[in-house]
Structure 1
């Protein structure tokens, strides 16, 4: 069994901070579950151009408000607590935070841990792993 606490994980290398967001990676590839699970904060006013070409992602809004726009058709979907959006076709999208948003995110294949977005808004398939060993 794996048991982790979000507040504890936020004080370790599992917390990854980048421009417009931060993510605490609670479950990663080296946990051997076939997916990764993160609690991600999108900062108020952030606009992120994303295109997860190598991963499928499901995102559930815990708190805050914003919107997600699918680039292919310009469709805009509001995000508020209780909303889930699923990038089942490696959708190129724009995520905008009207207020700070707290999101629960699942990635398949799982992330290694240190990933941040590349120039096209994707995560690479290979990245440095986070180790819980001291």
Structure 2
């Protein structure tokens, strides 16, 4: 409907460095939720503290400055998966970076963090994997 206003919850960058940003003001944000910075870089909320949250950056931190705003996306971090992803090189957001064009085929959206299946549902280990 025309004239409707959509409110966004935004926070402020307190500190940024080493791929982590501290954000104040996102009181309703969830763990593993994606947030977006002013320059378009996305991040995943990991540490929920009383007065700020810790965000792992999924892009370069050079363009992010203290005092800038950060907005919630209200989406839990996820990636599209499917057979078309096999043999491809993707970035942290699942976007192709190998120059072979878009990923095709049927895709399923899966959360980045999810509970492992119970022991009963797992296949037994028949051959050990040597890791060095």
TM-score, structure 2 normalization: 0.25
Q: Which has the larger radius of gyration?
A: 2
Higher strand share: 1
